[in-house]
Structure 1
């Protein structure tokens, strides 16, 4: 190996769990982010346009 004992390396299931936890955390953070004002303005314009049609 690269100078690290096999006993010191985490198992594949541990690595997968860490990746899964990190992906969930990033996803949750993205869901909780505020929508930028620019996008809110665009959505308002689209709604106004749909309401007139």
Structure 2
């Protein structure tokens, strides 16, 4: 996985965490759930890239 892909996944995860915390602070359950979903998607993408890299070696 390239450095840019790693940075992109980390940025997506941070945005998700921010959405989750803002949703929690404002009692916006939809935003909180969206933040959790964004974090899960970023983690899945990172795992997928890690698996792909393992097979490329």
TM class, shorter-length: 0.3 to 0.5
More helix per residue: 1 or 2?
Answer: 2
TM norm structure 2: 0.44
Greater gyration radius: 1
